[in-house]
Amino acid sequence: MEAVTDSPRELGGARAQRIIDAMRSSVALRGAAGSTFDHVAREAGVSRGLLHYYFGTKEALLVEVVRRDAAIRLELLDRALADAATAEDVIDALVRQLEDLIEHDPGFVTLVFELFTAGRRNPDVAAEIAALGRNAREHIAALLAEQQARGALHLADEPDAVATVLMALADGLALRLLCEPDHDPGPTIRAGIVCARALLTDGR
């Protein structure tokens, strides 16, 4: 695989979103290895040269897709937790986001794991994925610390450690449920909530 180059050039507007959406759709359909710039350019309605100009490599485009999607999901979580008053409110927000991800955006889960696999062969991709994971972990840890500081909940350990375990729980549940789409997710999610309650309890 080619190395991830410097950060992609700034590309805004509808054309950028078409490219991002085309890559996401292609990965869901063909996997990361099968998603070539030819496929993405054709489906986005842009030239192959434009993808090379703005992103340099396929891996850089994949990273940008994950970066943008992760930012959107963190923003949604911010909004969901803004009015949380108890640990149960926080857990409910986390569960609703997981359920929404599995039901409406399974391609994001596929993309993250595809990119992780690519990172096992490419240290530049691995570094990008690590940075994205670190940003998400630190963001969630800060949200949890803020909730604890204002008395909405009590954390069983350091915010960073709790955030890491909650993320691992969500990642594992998402992968497991998507691997068995016909399996009833209800009992599994309820068991996950039990685990979350061991980490998050009411602060008052």
Which residue shows structure tokens 């969500």?
170
**Average of per-residue pLDDT values in the chain:** 87
Global confidence as pTM: 0.82
Would you say how long the chain is, in residues?
Answer: 204
Per residue in 120-154, pLDDT tens?
A: 888 888 888 899 899 999 999 999 999 999 888 99
Cα–Cα dist 144/185, whole Å: 26
CB atoms under 10 Å from CB of 161, counted, come to: 14
> What value does the CA radius of gyration of the chain take, rounded to a whole number of Å?
18
Cα–Cα dist 62/81, whole Å: 29
Classified as helix, coil or strand, 155 is: strand
Task: Pick the more confident residue, 163 or 111.
Answer: 163
Classified as helix, coil or strand, 153 is: strand
Q: Is 29 left (phi over 0), alpha (psi -120 to 50) or beta?
A: alpha
What's the pLDDT score for residue 10? 59
CB contact at 8 A, 58 and 2 = yes
CB contact at 8 A, 90 and 35 = no
11 Cβ partners below 8 Å, 6+ apart? Answer: 19, 54
Identify the sign of the CA torsion 183, 187, 191, 194: positive
CB contact at 8 A, 145 and 159 = yes
Structure tokens at 194: 């039990």
Identify the sign of the CA torsion 184, 187, 193, 198: negative
CATH of 66-202, one of 1.10.630.10, 3.40.50.920, 1.10.357.10, 3.40.1160.10: 1.10.357.10
Residue 2 DSSP code = P
Per residue in 155-198, pLDDT tens?
A: 999 999 999 999 999 999 999 998 998 999 999 999 999 999 99
Q: Enumerate the domain spans of the chain.
A: 66-202
Per residue in 20-70, pLDDT tens?
A: 889 888 877 887 778 899 999 999 999 998 888 888 888 888 888 888 888
pLDDT at 15 over 70: yes
Distances in whole angstroms, Cα of residue 121 to Cα of each of 66, 117, 193:
18, 7, 35
The whole-number average pLDDT for the span 80-96 is 90
